[in-house]
Amino acid sequence: MELLPALAGRFGDRADAVRVGERQASWAQLADLAAARAAQIAGQPALVVDATASLDTVVAVVAGLTVGVPVVPVPPDAGPLERSHILAEVADAASAPDAALILFTSGTTGPPKGVLVSREAIAADLDALADAWAWTADDVLVHGLPLYHVHGLVLGVLGALRTGSRLVHTVRPQPAAYAAAGGTLYFGVPTVWHRIVQDGAAARALAPARLLVSGSAALPVPVFEALHRLSGHRPVERYGMTETLITVAARADGERRPGYVGRPVSGVRTRIVDDELQVRGATLFSGYLNRPDATAAAFTADGWFRTGDVAAIDADGSHRIVGRLSTDLIKSGGYRIGAGEVEDALLSHPAVREAAVVGVPHDDLGQEIVAYVVADGVGADELIGFVATQLSVHKRPRRVRFLDALPRNDMGKVQKQRL
């Protein structure tokens, strides 16, 4: 199966096929660069990529895919705890030879898990989205999202190389950069769209585009409405997870309602069981790296993946994501952040005795990370900085509140709803 036909000359070639910041390459040049790198890594059990927003990252990912070595993108701001955990996990990646990508989760209930994503799942998802969004080689895709997540890497890079659309990566998703890019198709997370509507000129500059896509977290209704008012676009929303890729999406030729993420894409089925959204289909992951127990627990007895999200499906099939079954997944600035991972980092500080982390509503970020700690002789700024050095910077608490004790139930579990 040819996963990235643009690199095989399916769409001809053009000098500015892929641009990341100030660097650009034609598809032929990208293929040559990737082939040279592939020769260096052939036969290796995995390729760990320091996934900066750069053309070098694109080359490395394509090289791994070209030669069949599982690619493990790592956040460039990952702290030593996070990085060492990932490296330790993939040291045994020879047990995952069929994986195209190993994407690590947000560590909701502990250390992040490696998600094994196959070439077949990637191809199925990108083809389904190309159909849903009328995404073709005539498009110019623009985004500035991180290159170590499904949104920025799978959709935002591999999607362009599969559909043959030009790719313009702005390095950072700044409103002025989006406005100047001249794209037909734009990807962003709610924080990006919130910042764009705060800059009216940037929002109005997107009027000539064909489609604006929002994902990774729920788009607030006021932002949806402001985008429509300023740019003339009703943005398309979609829903997915690292384990499932994108399973539900509004269509370019369909209704776009604020608060709704559309219908299942081609090849995907959904159902609601006890308020939880469950999915199955061709886009699902192959399992968790080195975690057969977690893989088994993620599926129902009849083979449906448990998303852990509460959802509602209207009579017409439109999906609305209500929230998490638990309170331990925080969506901040488009990132999915596991409270447990942040709590573990806080507890590794010698002055901290107890820690609990929650997400609270925030106008710009969607949610901000707030930590409640029991500690002696340490200030909030020190703890925030400490977490930023241990994990990715975006996982740091924005606020720290000190308590004499955390509220717990009779079983000793922290009562986060009270926090």
Q: What is the DSSP string of 250-296?
A: --TTS---TT--BEEPTTEEEEEETTEEEEEETT---EETT-HHHHH
Q: For the residues 110-139, what does the mean pLDDT come to?
A: 95
Q: What is the DSSP string of 180-247?
A: HS--SEEEE-HHHHHHHHHSHHHHHHTTT-SEEEE-SSPPPHHHHHHHHHHHS---EEEEEETTTEEE
User: Check: CATH 3.30.300.30 for 329-402?
Assistant: yes
**In which band, very low, low, confident or very high, does the pLDDT at 124 lie, cut at 50, 70 and 90?**
very high
Backbone angles phi, psi at 79, to 5 degrees: -80, 175
Of the ranges 172-176, 221-225, 291-295, 379-383, which one carries the lowest mean pLDDT score?
221-225
For the chain, the structural domain boundaries read: 5-319, 329-402
- Using CA atoms of 394, 399, 402, 407 in order, give the dihedral in degrees to the nearest 10: -70
Average pLDDT of the chain, as a whole number? 93
Asked if the model's pLDDT at residue 192 lies above 80, the reply is: yes
**What does the pLDDT look like over 343-367, one tens digit per residue?**
889 988 999 988 999 999 999 999 9
Q: Residue 86: what pLDDT?
A: 93
CA 51 to chain centre: 13
User: Check: CATH 3.40.50.720 for 5-319?
Assistant: no
Let me know if the fold of 5-319 is the same as that of 329-402: no
**In which band, very low, low, confident or very high, does the pLDDT at 116 lie, cut at 50, 70 and 90?**
very high
Q: Residue 190: what pLDDT?
A: 86
Asked if the model's pLDDT at residue 240 lies above 50, the reply is: yes
Of the ranges 94-98, 275-279, 412-416, which one carries the lowest mean pLDDT score?
412-416
**In which band, very low, low, confident or very high, does the pLDDT at 412 lie, cut at 50, 70 and 90?**
low
**In which band, very low, low, confident or very high, does the pLDDT at 411 lie, cut at 50, 70 and 90?**
very low
**What does the pLDDT look like over 28-73, one tens digit per residue?**
999 999 999 999 999 999 999 999 999 999 999 999 999 999 999 9
pTM: 0.84
Asked if the model's pLDDT at residue 389 lies above 80, the reply is: yes
